[in-house]
């Protein structure tokens, strides 16, 4: 998900309206541009600070030159357990939620071929690996008293449109009108909500799922054990879903005797695309390693499918409408588009200490304002200029920092630790707590050609979330803690 920092909805009224619709907007551009470290347990145990270290399959997603540090062929796999906890604060009410998921962080192979003694080129490598870049599995529950209702948002969307034109021009308003949640004022050509506004108990659940990962096809070369070069083509795959269930219960009798209503919004999005990466690692001395890598932006094609449903319940005989439940569902919706994510520039340094340990750091520069939508002309026209302008005015360049360390314990064991901070991508402090921080640790075991690593990652972030139009509803602060426990097993040959 993503986390997704939805306070950007407050950037303007037009932007706000997109946040409760399944449209292509700046929220989606950030979701697929703001990736984090994943992959093997060793890589995670050092918070992904591997740009100048190399010799790990996850480095293919950071600096492909690191693959040239392999002296033998290798294969590994990394499953992990993801535990997501959230706390949502809305109008002085706090709600908790919890979600557990098992997933795949990495699987891959590197083949190494040594070159004859007469050449300055010591070896070449070919690698293919899957590395996960983002995990979208989150869950949040929001409860509390609210005024006014989300029905006000539905009514406002139909302003100036007669009921006969709602289905084509404002389908959320149409759904609310067809289920008697709102009514029409012909004299004003607008809609109103016949509900007592100070007596609404809100219960909203938002669950997101899916992952973003890439399959890396890389080639690297080792020059005199001093210069390491690498390049790769990466195939990006995205799978995302979001399910929202919004219920409001009326605690005081309303004009039309409604007791409660439930709105559901289901979105699925699938995408695939490509990017290129090139990198270099240099060893000016035996104890210093320097690295640099450039990632082109990914060009990803997406297809989204969505469906909405609204049901209302009335409890008094003789009311208009009569007692019962009224339901309206939207037709299945689908849209295709393309997104270009921003490029990344990574500088790295690692320092070897007495051949017993190392300290490494990565500095990653990303300009999130350079994300941009592209039309999918085969699916129909869509003016992307408005969405791209919002992206430029909402996001900025950010510096992400990852620091890690590894130390030998005896002949066979290693311990690791790390820290990562991802700077806010928003301009003008638009969100209060939009940094994402991660604390990591791990252990490793090596014996002959077999190795095993275990890592733990604790990440936390806060998003400023609006259930609908910020002009109508108070902000919800959603604080998320994500724990990952991962295990890598591998063999060198």
20 pLDDT tier (thresholds 50, 70, 90): very low
- Residue 254 pLDDT exceeds 80: no
Region 434-453 average pLDDT? 95
Contact 455, 442 (CB under 8 A): yes
* Residue 132 domain-assigned (yes or no): yes
Strands 357-367 and 372-374: unpaired
* Residue 189 domain-assigned (yes or no): no
Question: Which pLDDT belongs to residue 374?
Answer: 87
* Residue 477 domain-assigned (yes or no): yes
* Residue 157 domain-assigned (yes or no): no
Print the domain residue range for 28: 6-149+195-492
378 pLDDT tier (thresholds 50, 70, 90): low
Question: Which pLDDT belongs to residue 19?
Answer: 40
User: Coil, strand, or helix at residue 380?
Assistant: coil
Q: Domain tally for the chain?
A: 1
pLDDT by residue (tens digit) across 461-493?
998 899 999 999 999 999 999 999 999 999 999
Of 92, 80, 127, 10, the closest CA to residue 459 belongs to 80
Backbone angles phi, psi at 16, to 5 degrees: -55, -45
Backbone angles phi, psi at 40, to 5 degrees: -75, 165
* Residue 105 domain-assigned (yes or no): yes
- Residue 11 pLDDT exceeds 70: no
- Token readout for 204 is 């909203």
User: Coil, strand, or helix at residue 298?
Assistant: coil
What percent of the chain is predicted at pLDDT more than 70? 90
Contact 349, 291 (CB under 8 A): yes
10 pLDDT tier (thresholds 50, 70, 90): very low
pLDDT by residue (tens digit) across 276-323?
999 999 999 999 999 999 999 999 999 999 999 999 998 864 556 667
The CATH number of residue 375's host domain is: 2.40.160.60
256 pLDDT tier (thresholds 50, 70, 90): low
2 pLDDT tier (thresholds 50, 70, 90): very low
Region 148-161 average pLDDT? 93
Question: Which pLDDT belongs to residue 448?
Answer: 93
* Residue 164 domain-assigned (yes or no): no
Question: Which pLDDT belongs to residue 315?
Answer: 80
Question: Which pLDDT belongs to residue 7?
Answer: 36
Region 426-430 average pLDDT? 73
Beta-strand ranges (E) seen in 251-370 are: 258-285, 288-295, 299-314, 324-329, 333-340, 344-353, 357-367
Rounded CA-CA distance 41/415 in Å is 12
How wide is the angle at C-alpha 344 spanned by C-alphas 338 and 349, nearest 5°?
160
Region 350-357 average pLDDT? 95
- Token readout for 404 is 């890690």
**DSSP code, position 467:** S
CA 431 to chain centre: 17
Of 446, 72, 76, 361, the closest CA to residue 222 belongs to 72
How wide is the angle at C-alpha 270 spanned by C-alphas 269 and 274, nearest 5°?
135
- In terms of pLDDT, which residue wins out, 199 or 324? 324
* Residue 188 domain-assigned (yes or no): no
* Average pLDDT of the chain to the nearest whole number: 90
Alpha-carbon torsion 6, 11, 16, 22, what sign?
A: negative
Question: Which pLDDT belongs to residue 4?
Answer: 36
* Residue 159 domain-assigned (yes or no): no
């Amino acid at each position: 998900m993503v986390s997704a920092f939805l306070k950007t909805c407050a950037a303007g009224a037009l932007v706000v309206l997109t946040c409760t619709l399944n449209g292509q907007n700046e929220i989606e551009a950030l979701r697929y541009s703001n990736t984090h470290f994943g992959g093997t347990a060793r890589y995670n145990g050092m918070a992904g600070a591997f740009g100048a270290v190399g010799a790990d399959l996850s480095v293919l997603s950071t600096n492909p030159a690191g693959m040239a540090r392999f002296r033998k062929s290798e294969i590994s796999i990394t499953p992990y357990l993801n535990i997501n906890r959230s706390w949502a604060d809305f109008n002085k009410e706090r709600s908790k939620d919890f979600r557990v998921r098992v997933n795949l962080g990495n699987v891959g192979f590197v083949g190494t071929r040594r070159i004859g003694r007469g050449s300055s080129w010591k070896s070449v490598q070919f690698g293919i690996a899957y590395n996960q870049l983002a995990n979208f599995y989150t869950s949040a529950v929001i409860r509390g008293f609210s005024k006014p209702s989300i029905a006000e948002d539905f009514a406002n969307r139909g302003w100036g449109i007669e009921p006969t034109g709602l289905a084509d021009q404002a389908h959320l308003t149409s759904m609310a009108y067809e289920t008697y949640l709102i009514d029409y004022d012909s004299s004003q050509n607008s809609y109103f909500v016949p509900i007592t506004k100070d007596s609404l108990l809100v219960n909203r659940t938002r669950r997101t799922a899916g992952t973003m990962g890439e399959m890396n096809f890389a080639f690297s070369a080792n020059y005199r054990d001093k210069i390491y070069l690498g390049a790769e083509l990466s195939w990006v795959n995205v799978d995302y879903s979001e399910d929202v269930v919004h219920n409001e219960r009326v605690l005081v009798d309303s004009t039309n005797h409604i007791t409660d209503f439930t709105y559901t919004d289901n979105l699925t999005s699938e995408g695939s695309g490509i990017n290129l990466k090139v990198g270099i690692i240099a060893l000016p001395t035996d104890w210093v390693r320097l690295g640099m890598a450039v990632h082109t932006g990914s060009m990803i094609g997406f297809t989204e499918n969505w469906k909405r449903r609204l049901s209302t319940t009335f409890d008094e005989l003789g009311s208009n409408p009569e007692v019962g439940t009224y339901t309206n569902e939207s037709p299945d919706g689908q849209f295709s588009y393309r997104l270009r994510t921003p490029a990344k520039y990574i500088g790295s340094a690692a320092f070897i200490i007495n051949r017993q340990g190392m300290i490494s750091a990565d500095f990653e520069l990303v300009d999130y304002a350079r994300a941009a939508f592209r039309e999918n002309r085969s699916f129909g026209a869509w003016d992307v200029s408005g969405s791209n302008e919002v992206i430029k005015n909402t996001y900025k360049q950010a510096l992400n920092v990852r620091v890690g360390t590894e130390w030998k314990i005896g002949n066979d064991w290693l311990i690791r630790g790390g820290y990562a901070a991802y700077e806010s991508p928003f301009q003008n402090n638009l969100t209060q707590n939009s940094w994402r921080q991660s604390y990591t640790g791990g252990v490793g075991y090596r014996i002959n050609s077999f190795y095993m690593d275990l890592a733990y990652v604790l990440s936390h972030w806060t998003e400023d979330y609006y259930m609908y139009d910020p002009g109508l509803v108070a902000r919800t602060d959603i604080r998320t803690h994500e724990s990952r426990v991962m295990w890598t097993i591998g063999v060198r040959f």
